[in-house]
Homo-oligomer: A and B are copies of this chain.
Amino acid sequence: MKKFVNDPAQFVPEFMKGIALANPDLLDYTPEFQMIVRKSGVDNAKVSIVQGSGSGHEPAHVMAVGPGMLTGACQGAVFAAPPVDACYETIKKCASDAGVLVLVNNYQGDRMAWDMATEMATAEGINARQFWINDDVAVEDSLYTVGRRGVAGNFFVIKACGAAAEQGKNLDEVEAIAKKVNDNVRTMGVALTSCIPPAKGTPIFEIGDDEMEVGVGIHGEPGRRREKIHPADQITEELFEAVSKDIPFNSGDRIALMINGLGGTPITELYVIYAKAHELAEKAGFTVVRNYVGEYCTSLEMAGASLTILRLDAELEALLDAPAETAARIF
């Protein structure tokens, strides 16, 4: 296991401590619940935006806390939903007179934990509501599972809701924006390698030296198929095709285009993908209004990438444009 780690059981609290130490003016860290909230506290005139999920997807979710983004977030162990109490305490800590919107990536463990937490909070009189994000087109809905997974599109839901909340929109309005983003955002990813959860110490799946997993999930869930690795342009075409045909997106659409790294892929390779994706978008008649190239929702040190398209309208464009600040920063 080629990792910077001490006791694997302490991996999550240790990196959260690092995030907190590095952002003393921005963030407030409660180790007991692996919870991070804005230092500036809750504004009762504004809807609070909350999220929480397994660790290993950073900068999602605790590194997405900050003005214009999340009000607070909690994390579970690597790839495991947080305990119910952590979710409950996060809602409680972020409780606002204007209400709390809980953005839940659509996984069974996360949904159950936030269900319980929201019920508990509601029972205490907190105005909390859940919204499920499910942008991954790789895996179709099925009778048996909880449905499509929530992946990198998550960033756009947070960004738009965070900005709307900042502007003082009410809970219904912010929820409507979450729905609009989720209805208009689609993602698919591809993995070239697996990753190793520190506590597990071994890869979560086996993959050949010349293979890739098309449509991989951010916990290493299998996707659509296992294939020989293709040239970057061909992979990009596959992702673009799958994503753009899903809603479908239409010629003339104004879009945000995201190439998200899964953790182990260097930024340059993401730009190789971006170059092709941008070209394909223009060929399809889309206008790329904003773009995002980097890490937004990762899977530990997995080498891989995902492509996200969000259809914009004037409202969403303005929300994406709005200022925001998180622990993920350059300067």
Chain A interface (Cβ within 8 Å of chain B)?
2-7, 11, 14-19, 21-22, 55-56, 58-59, 63, 159, 192-193, 209, 229, 231-233, 235, 263-275, 278-279, 291-295, 298, 300-301, 303, 305, 320, 324, 326, 328-331
Is A192 within 8 A of B275, CB to CB?
A: no
Is A229 within 8 A of B2, CB to CB?
A: yes
Docked pose: A7 CA to B18 CA in angstroms: 40
List B contacts of A17 (CB < 8 A).
271, 275
How close is A108's CB to chain B, nearest CB, in angstroms? 24
Docked pose: A129 CA to B163 CA in angstroms: 46
Task: Give 4 closest A-B pairs by Cβ, nearest first.
Answer: A18-B271, A18-B275, A2-B192, A4-B269
Docked pose: A232 CA to B277 CA in angstroms: 38
Docked pose: A14 CA to B269 CA in angstroms: 9
Given A14-B232, A56-B268, 16 further pairs, Cβ under 8 A: A3-B269, A4-B305, A6-B231, A6-B272, A11-B272, A15-B269, A17-B275, A18-B272, A21-B279, A59-B267, A63-B267, A264-B264, A292-B331, A294-B329, A294-B330, A330-B330
List B contacts of A324 (CB < 8 A).
331
Is B4 within 8 A of A291, CB to CB?
A: no
Docked pose: A267 CA to B15 CA in angstroms: 9
Is A266 within 8 A of B301, CB to CB?
A: yes
Is A268 within 8 A of B6, CB to CB?
A: no
Is A14 within 8 A of B275, CB to CB?
A: yes
Known: A21-B274, A22-B278, A305-B4. A58 touches B268 (CB 8 A): yes
Is A269 within 8 A of B5, CB to CB?
A: yes
Is B275 within 8 A of A21, CB to CB?
A: yes
List B contacts of A264 (CB < 8 A).
264, 266, 301, 303
A291 CB contact (under 8 Å) in B22, B59, B291:
B22
Known: A15-B275, A19-B271, A278-B21. A266 touches B58 (CB 8 A): yes
Is A231 within 8 A of B5, CB to CB?
A: yes
Docked pose: A165 CA to B229 CA in angstroms: 46
Residue of B nearest to A329 (CB): B330
Docked pose: A291 CA to B25 CA in angstroms: 12
Docked pose: A300 CA to B331 CA in angstroms: 21
Docked pose: A330 CA to B233 CA in angstroms: 24
List B contacts of A268 (CB < 8 A).
11, 15, 55-56, 58, 300
Is B4 within 8 A of A235, CB to CB?
A: yes
A273 CB contact (under 8 Å) in B18, B231, B292:
B18
